[in-house]
Amino acid sequence: MKKKNLLFVTMTIFTFCLTISSCGDDRFYDEPINDNTSNTQANQNDFVALYEILGDQIIKINDGFDGKNWMHDDVKHQEMWDLIAQLIDAGDRPWITQFMVIDGQGELYGFVEPLNEDLTQWTMGMAIDMAYVNGTLNGDKEYVYTAIHEFAHVLSLNHEQLNPNTTNCNTYNLEEGCAHGNSYINQFFDNFWKDIFNEHRNIDPDDYDAIDAFYEKYDDRFVTDYAATNPAEDIAESFAYFVTKEEKPNGNAIADKKVSFMYDFPEFIDMRDRLRQSTFTLPMAGAWKRPKCKHKKGKRIEMIK
Ligand SMILES: [Zn+2]
């Protein structure tokens, strides 16, 4: 039933289908999609409600059929959205056009997913049970952290950063598309991943023990263990660190350099200032729990480990 509901939602809101074969050269291919994963957690994140985003406002598109009764509360949905709208200026998130409330079932924090193949429009999904995990919105600050992390995905994976259509990719090649040479993620990859990527790509993305071992081996390179998942998660974690950490790091560890890398972009510094202007308290850098991520047809899903 849940699967049917999700299929309905999926068919209703988008017809997007990634054609992995179009990525061509997969030298830097990040996590191949396994078609046998249709029954994974990625397909069970229950759909509670879907909203269209218009600036700082949201308008309901439809209700989902899943989730507990208390989750079908438009006031709570509005609170969840208002916090994101307050956190992230509308001008900084032109690509995020839909907001989905999901039942994370104690496992999922949120996800981002392109609405269309050209990567111009994205859905941000946030788990209502995780948002209200301590009874109050953002009670454990994980909600704000997740929003910053998911925002960083869209910031680094949108159509201005990646080309989803090329068949000949000579830069970092992700599930969503081929990174432009001067894109944030390609520069991040060239600076921090090229020397270890061949080792990393041999790791089964579902083998969390192997990812943990990879992190342990290179822990001075990553701001969190979750960042070792892949370059896309690494840049999202590093961006969240950059936003939440009070001072620019001055250490020589590669993890510090990844955060310093963010300061190379004046638009990121301005964005950081705006993100930090929110009236609520930001989480302490690195204090958040450790989610794990599943990818399914371009969807980046954050799960509790
Ligand atoms: Zn992520």
What's the rounded Cα separation, in Å, for the pair 261 and 242? 9
Centroid of ligand 1 to alpha carbon of 50 (angstroms) = 20
Centroid of ligand 1 to alpha carbon of 277 (angstroms) = 23
Higher pLDDT, 248 or 301: 248
Residue-wise pLDDT tens digits, 21-70? 222 223 333 333 333 333 333 344 589 999 999 999 999 999 998 899 99
299 pLDDT more than 90: no
Mean pLDDT (whole number) for 255-267? 97
Query: pLDDT category, 295, cuts 50, 70, 90?
Result: low
Residue ranges of E strands in the chain: 46-54, 57-63, 96-103, 108-114, 122-127, 162-163, 178-179, 291-296, 299-304
Instruction: Report how far Cα 201 is from the mean position of its chain's Cα atoms.
Output: 20
Mean pLDDT (whole number) for 97-126? 93
pLDDT of residue 303: 63
pLDDT of residue 107: 83
Mean pLDDT (whole number) for 178-192? 97
Closest-CA residue to 122 (of 157, 71, 170): 157
Centroid of ligand 1 to alpha carbon of 39 (angstroms) = 20
Residue-wise pLDDT tens digits, 194-246? 999 999 989 888 888 888 899 899 999 999 988 998 999 999 999 999 999 99
Centroid of ligand 1 to alpha carbon of 223 (angstroms) = 14
Please state, rounded to an integer, the average pLDDT across all residues of the chain.
82
Residue-wise pLDDT tens digits, 70-92? 999 999 999 999 999 999 999 99
Centroid of ligand 1 to alpha carbon of 301 (angstroms) = 6
10 pLDDT more than 70: no
Centroid of ligand 1 to alpha carbon of 152 (angstroms) = 8
Mean pLDDT (whole number) for 142-162? 95
295 SS3 class:
strand
Closest-CA residue to 218 (of 238, 232, 202, 197): 197
pLDDT of residue 46: 86
Centroid of ligand 1 to alpha carbon of 233 (angstroms) = 5
